[in-house]
Amino acid sequence: MGNILITAPFDDENLKELKKVEDRGIKVFYESWTETGKLLLPYELVERIPKDDIEILVVEAEKIFENVLQVPQLKVLGVCRGNPVAVTDPIKATENGVLIINTPGRNASSVAELTIALMINLIRRIIISNNLVKNKKYDNQLQFEQYTKYRGFTLEDKKIGIIGLGAVGFEVAKRLQCFEPDLYIFDPYVAEEKIEKIKGKRVELETLMAESDIITIHAPVTKETIGMINKDMISLIKPTTYLINTARSDLVDEDALIDALINKKIAGLALDVYKKEPLSRRSPLLKLPSDLNVILTSHIGGATYNTIVNHSKMIVENIKLYLDGRVPKNVYNKDVLTKFNLK
């Protein structure tokens, strides 16, 4: 049995649990990129895997290309993501007999709660108000304007459109229940029972875009969803509507969104993801007029300790099953199991 290399961040408790396998002669190399400040390049992994006899590799931020998958010592690749986007070609993993373990739902609660926070910040103009006070503009005139120009609204009875009712979208919908909004759901693949659980209404995307007071995006990136929120879809949005994207920038025409915001075709915008990250200093998003209701966060949707604990626990559980000769719970490329003698 080969060794284990982990470059993803793990919490202490689950790392300690995993290191128990060292009693079986399996060495665990823990080199979290958040501690080393370094991502291993493909050629470094190609050299490292045979050097330290790595049978199980666990990553979060590294990109895994085919040359890494071709190293014969590598048998299991753990990817600390809901969708193993770190692997450039999962089919090549199967062809090379590498079993991919992913961590679905690891950051669902974290992203959902950020989404709710952005939602409330937008509709109550919290950040705008904060900046006015800190910039010493909270005077008698502003005291009057807060009841007119800066007036917000509550979520009660508002139409909130959720695009994608996967792990994150469902958690957003669950947390919105106490606010008693009307939930519009666009997800062609979700079961009706799941929509009923959150008291939602299934609608077409065009209906959701045209009728929602708040739109929040939680769809995965697939061939079908790339660019789904295009210029035509954005043109359907009411000028009083707010849009939030904590999913992926590939889903939205960012330029069309900026244009709609500048021309007052939408009321506000909150983004945690961008077509280029980190944002260039020349990004038009950083040049928007200060009076626009815009919140830009630095891709912090999953940046909670809970996310690390969740993916650590899932990976450790799956590795232990594999080492015991059993099929892990979260196998992404199930076709590869024919190449393993697992029960």
From 48, 106, 125, 248, active-site residue: 248
Q: Is the dihedral of CA 227, 228, 232, 238 positive or negative?
A: negative
Q: Compute the distance between CA of residue 168 and CA of residue 246 in angstroms, rounded to an integer.
A: 10
Establish whether 311 is a catalytic residue. Answer: no
- Whether the Cβ atoms of residue 162 and residue 184 lie closer than 8 Å to each other: yes
Q: Compute the distance between CA of residue 324 and CA of residue 342 in angstroms, rounded to an integer.
A: 9
Residues 6+ apart with CB under 8 A from 198: 165, 170, 173, 174, 176, 177, 183, 185
From 196, 204, 277, 326, active-site residue: 277
Q: Compute the distance between CA of residue 126 and CA of residue 128 in angstroms, rounded to an integer.
A: 5
Q: What is the three-class DSSP state of 183? A: strand
Q: Is the dihedral of CA 81, 82, 88, 94 positive or negative?
A: positive
From 299, 311, 317, 326, active-site residue: 299
Active-site residues, by number, are: 248, 277, 299
